[in-house]
């Protein structure tokens, strides 16, 4: 298992600072990050590259530049895929810097009243609330049944086109929550706590169920966490840091109430990358810093648990050839898995354990698909443009099943594949393995 990096370096507490100046000094301007950056790829503009953005942040902190509208736009344009962190020899914590700056920009309030209202509804009333999520997803399901989504492009332009291309909301039986306990198959190797998440149960409930079955098959007594909804990752990525801290504290409390020492296992890469870093998020809160750091160290991705030697051995003995998975398959690494958590080999090891399935490589599998949390909703045009070369690579690969491990990426690919008219099924790693799992 990958050892969690220490996140003890706190954010600055100086209220006036828009920027985490100390972190910006880590950058030595070598430029090795440039080609990894989706927005640099898109524009060729160094201003829209990691090095450029760090330069802008530092220039603002040192009062050589003003935090203008252009500054906020450049920060918003970033997908926070953190690909740059994977190649940075100086170890610049780019994601952390960006979260901090976005948080401060949010506080200083450059957005109009309508945008603020929409954000308030999304971040306060929908994401952290099961009822809110059910209402939103129920609304989408109804609109799909009535055929209203087909009209969306007329009223909402590109955003509407994306809405029209969304896959149908799954039937109710797929949206039921996990049982409190899924017993281990065979001798138990201990417990695992799983995060069901906010949108996952509503749109990808089948993935959570598949995950629980896989963990059980690998010998874990799998526990769900009642009443938990949201880990706060989307809040943090979008500058809602206060709300993110609240959600982190309540997440830790609810999980610890079920079990305060076993691994916390995730099937959503974005949430995993964020929860591993709870220590940094709460580093300035003396009552919570140590507990958050310790909690973060318990967070692992599903693939890390399942690819560990004993798990893989048990799983492999239960995997059968299946007709429900069309080969060849290919793996597209979610950014917050490979860059955010440095988990790379485990998903491949698992896919290669599938009997009789050919796996082909996807060119640029570690570059961003453009989903980036709610980026695809906020900036649909940029988001689809980032996806474009990936769709081309998918076409070239000849794969008929694309495997990912994050709900945002999952949905982005579904929309992209549909719009491009490709005959490719998009599945989560847990689904792919679960389909081959004997009953």
Partner 1 sequence: MELAAIVGERGVRSDALARSAYESDGFMLQREAPSIVVLPRSTEEAAAAVKVLRREGLVVVPRGAGTGLTGGARPIAGGAVLGTARMKRILEINPDDRFARVEAGVVNVHLTAATCSHGLFYAPDPSSQTACTIGGNVGNNSGGPHCFKYGSTNRHVLGLTLVDSDGEITRVGGIEPDPDGIDLLGPLVGSEGMMGLVTEVTVKLEPSPERVETLLVMFESLDACCDAVSDMIAARLEPSAIEILDRLTIEAVEASVLRAGYPEHAEAVMLVEVEGGPHEVDAIATDIIELARARGAFEARRTADDEERKKLWAGRKGAFGAMGRIAPDLYVADVVVPRTRLREIVGVASRACAARGLKLSNVFHAGDGNLHPNISYDRRDADEVARVLAAGKEIMEACVAFGGSLTGEHGVGLEKQGEMCLVFGDDDLAAMSDLRAAFDPHGFWNPGKLFPVRGCREIEARPLGSEAR
Residues that bind partner 1 (CB under 8 A): 25-35, 40, 42-47, 49, 51-52, 55-56, 59, 64-66, 68, 70-71, 74, 85-92
Q: How far is the CB of 75 from partner 1 (least distance, A)?
A: 11
Q: How far apart are CA 375 and CA 287, in angstroms?
A: 33
Q: How far is the CB of 276 from partner 1 (least distance, A)?
A: 16
Q: Which is nearer to partner 1, 49 or 149 (CB)?
A: 49
Q: How far is the CB of 334 from partner 1 (least distance, A)?
A: 18
Q: How far apart are CA 375 and CA 78, in angstroms?
A: 9
What are residue 362's phi and psi, to 5 degrees? -105, 125
SS3 for 264? Answer: strand
Handedness of CA 31, 34, 35, 41 (dihedral sign): negative
Q: Which is nearer to partner 1, 93 or 196 (CB)?
A: 93
Q: How far apart are CA 103 and CA 187, in angstroms?
A: 47
Q: Which is nearer to partner 1, 55 or 336 (CB)?
A: 55
Q: What angle do CA 12, 17, 22 make, to 5 degrees?
A: 50
**Residue 163 CB-density burial (10 A; 0-12 exposed, 13-18 middle, 19+ buried):** buried
Q: Which is nearer to partner 1, 36 or 149 (CB)?
A: 36
Q: Which is nearer to partner 1, 59 or 294 (CB)?
A: 59
What are the C-alpha distances in Å from 49 to residues 16, 45, 46, 367, 429?
A: 26, 7, 5, 14, 31
Q: How far is the CB of 363 from partner 1 (least distance, A)?
A: 10
Q: How far apart are CA 133 and CA 131, in angstroms?
A: 5
Q: Which is nearer to partner 1, 25 or 180 (CB)?
A: 25
Q: How far is the CB of 26 from partner 1 (least distance, A)?
A: 5
Q: How far is the CB of 74 from partner 1 (least distance, A)?
A: 7
């Amino acid at each position: 298992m990958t050892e969690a990096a220490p996140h003890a370096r706190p954010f600055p507490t100086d209220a006036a600072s828009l920027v985490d100046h100390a972190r910006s000094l880590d950058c030595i301007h070598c430029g090795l990050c440039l080609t990894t950056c989706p927005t640099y790829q898109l524009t060729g503009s160094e201003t829209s590259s990691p090095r450029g953005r760090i330069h802008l942040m530092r220039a603002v902190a040192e009062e050589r530049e003003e935090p203008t509208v252009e500054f906020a736009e450049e920060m918003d344009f970033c997908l926070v895929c953190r690909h740059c962190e994977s190649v940075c020899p100086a170890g610049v914590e780019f994601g952390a810097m960006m979260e901090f700056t976005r948080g401060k920009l949010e506080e200083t309030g450059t957005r109009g009243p309508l945008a603020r209202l929409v954000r308030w509804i999304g971040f306060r009333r929908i994401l952290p609330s099961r009822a809110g999520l059910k209402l939103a997803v129920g609304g989408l399901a109804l609109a799909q049944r009535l055929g209203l989504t087909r009209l969306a492009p007329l009223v909402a332009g590109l955003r509407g086109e994306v809405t029209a291309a969304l896959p149908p909301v799954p039937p109710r039986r797929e949206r039921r929550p996990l049982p409190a306990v899924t017993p281990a198959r065979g001798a138990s190797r201990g417990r695992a706590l799983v995060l069901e998440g906010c949108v996952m149960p509503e749109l990808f409930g089948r993935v959570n169920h598949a995950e629980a079955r896989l963990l059980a098959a690998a010998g874990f007594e799998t526990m769900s966490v009642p009443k938990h909804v949201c880990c706060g990752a989307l809040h943090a990525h979008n500058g809602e840091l206060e709300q993110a801290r609240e959600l982190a504290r309540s997440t830790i409390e609810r999980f610890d109430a079920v079990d305060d020492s076993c691994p916390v296992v995730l099937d959503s890469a974005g949430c995993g990358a964020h929860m591993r870093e709870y220590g940094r998020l709460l580093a300035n809160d003396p009552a919570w810093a140590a507990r958050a750091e310790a909690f973060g160290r318990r967070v692992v991705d599903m693939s890390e648990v399942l690819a560990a030697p004993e798990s893989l051995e048990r799983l492999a003995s239960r995997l059968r050839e299946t007709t429900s998975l069309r080969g060849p398959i290919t793996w597209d690494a979610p950014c917050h898995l490979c860059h955010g958590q440095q988990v790379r080999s485990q998903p491949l090891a698992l896919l290669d354990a599938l009997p009789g399935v050919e796996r082909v490589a996807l060119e640029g599998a570690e570059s961003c698909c453009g989903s980036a949390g709610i980026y695809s909703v906020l900036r649909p045009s940029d988001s689809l443009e980032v996806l474009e070369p990936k769709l081309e690579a998918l076409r070239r690969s000849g794969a008929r099943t694309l495997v990912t491990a994050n709900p945002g990426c999952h949905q982005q690919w579904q929309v992209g594949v549909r719009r491009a008219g490709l005959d490719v099924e998009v599945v989560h790693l847990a689904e792919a393995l679960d389909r081959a799992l004997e009953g």
